[in-house]
Each structure stands twice: as C-alpha cells, then as structure tokens.
Structure 1
C-alpha cells in the first residue's frame, strides 16, 4: 500500500465516513461468510458507511497526499483495526484504476503470520476504505528513530521473520517490490508484519495469462 499506518498525527483529518457516502458500496472481502445485505447503508441515513459495517473510527495514525489511516474499533472482529481511507477526488486515476485493485487482489489471497492481514475493502462514491490488521507498535522506522539502533537479538528475529514472509509471497508468485523500514510494522508481541503491497506484482497470475 502507498501509506503504511504508523505514528499518530495531530493534523486535522478530512471528512470521513459521512452521509455523502450513502450510495451503495462495493465490497471486497477476505472471507466468504459476509452478509451481503450489509453492503448497503440503512435507508434512514443515520449510519455512516463504516458504522453500517461495524467500525467506529478513532484517531489518525498515518497520513499521505490522498489517503488517511485511522485506528478503529471493529465490532465484527472484536478488535482494533487500521482503516486506510482513500479519497477518490485526490488520488491519481492510474492508482484508482490500476494499482489499488491490484493491491487488493494480491493481499486478500495472502495469509501468513508475518504479513499484515487484509480484512475488507469497501468502495463508495467518494472513497475507498481498506480495513486491515492493526500493528500496535508502529513501524521499524519508528523504532529506529526512537532508539537509534536495533540490537542483534531483535535484528536476527525480525530478519528471519521477514525472510519467511518474503519466501511465502514468492512461492505464490507475489513480488512485493517496496520493502523498507516504514513498511515493516511491529505488533504487540514485537513480531514483524510486512505491509503495503501497492507496488506488488503477481507474476504467477501474469504467466497464466500469457
């Protein structure tokens, strides 16, 4: 993805999940037991799109030029999640038509303990919402900036986890193409979670089409 969820920002957020998103939404999902009746906002208009899907927005944890990442409570998953909110008005057309659909297609087929888990994607008239696992400790870049260095024990552990995650992706024909410290997130157990598949390519799928 082009924006990783990382340190909390104090900047004022744009209007998110408002009633202007009420037109029916498209939903991509990681599982198959989703109630398709919930793809549409309630007729009385009292709920926002995200509320209708069981999400309560919290603070901003990341910002980019055309996307904001917010912490949220998920009633459905009974945990905190990160929601990447992409403005269709601000995002480049090639990103919306090419890179974003490709990213969603790639990540929803990947399940590994060292990859950020994709939960759901919701598309409305004005925005796209990407719901994913929340990594509580921020990015590896955050830790390096705070501590100055990473000791050998953690380096060995995290490098091994990263290699496992990359091997898993490569075995499925997926090449990340954007591995860097800010895309390596850390959860509460201090395990690495590779994120942001915005530049990823699925070479297995490409070869199949030839």
Structure 2
C-alpha cells in the first residue's frame, strides 16, 4: 500500500528541492561579487575589487560597513566627476594591481579571497603607501583609504550610526544670564 502524500508535505518537499538548487547560485553570486550598482568610472572587476577593499577598511560590525553605506558607489562617482585624470588613473591602476596580486598569489580575484588574505594584501599596499608618502609621492592606497573614510563618515549610516549625530546642538534660549550657562562654548 502506497502512503498518501498530503499537499503540505509535497509543497515542503518541493520547497526543499528548490532551496537546494538556489543555495549554489547564492554562494556563487557571493564569491563572484555581483554588483548591485552600475559603475561610472570603473570596470566591473575594478568595482568588485573596490567594494571588497572598502569593506575591509570599514567592515560591518555593530554598525554598517562600507558597502552598506554606499562607499564604493561614492568613490566611483568621485572618480567619474571629481578626481583629476592622473589621480583617477592611479587609483584604477592600484585596484587592477591589487586584483592581479590576489590572482597571482591565491589564484582568485581579490573580492573572492577570505578576509584574512584580503587584509594581508591591503596591509602590504598600506606599507607601500606609507613609504611613498615619506618621499612625498602619491600612492593609490592612501587615496583609497581617505576616500573610504570620507565616504563612510559623510554617509547617513556613518554619520548617524557610527558617529553620534546631533542636528542641532541644543535648545536656543536667548538672553540667558551667563551664570545659568556656566562656561561658554568653543569650537576648534
């Protein structure tokens, strides 16, 4: 006698089969670094490398990381609209070099490497950048780090979740005696 299959059990079984099919696609999408945005000044490979590097510079912790804050898109927009051509080319060439180093050493694109390997390559690039700075020479990594920091802390998540945001520094109370306020305020 064949047991009767209920609709609910059949749907659960089909759902399980569908999820088994979807898991490799999702994992493959994560390792290839499918972009959710269209770069203006970068190639797809450069944009994936940029996104992975930005996320290692400002990783997600209890606050959003660089990708969630839109930092890669910010940097791409700055490259397209604001950077001087030689400066933009230096950063693009640095991203290409970073990806080439990852492929040569680990056999995979930078964006697909584990965080520890990405960090090691970025530390090397930072050391190169610091050595170049001692000789007053520009370096792509220093620009990347600066743009990542600026992009993050001027984004809404960076300004409101990583920093304390106070849109107005207190109530306005005119004509208050100085003895009620105490010391005055100073800004740097």
| Shared fold, TM over 0.5 | no
Which is richer in strand?
1
Provide the TM-score with structure 2 as the length reference. Answer: 0.29
Which is richer in helix?
2
Provide the TM-score with structure 1 as the length reference. Answer: 0.27
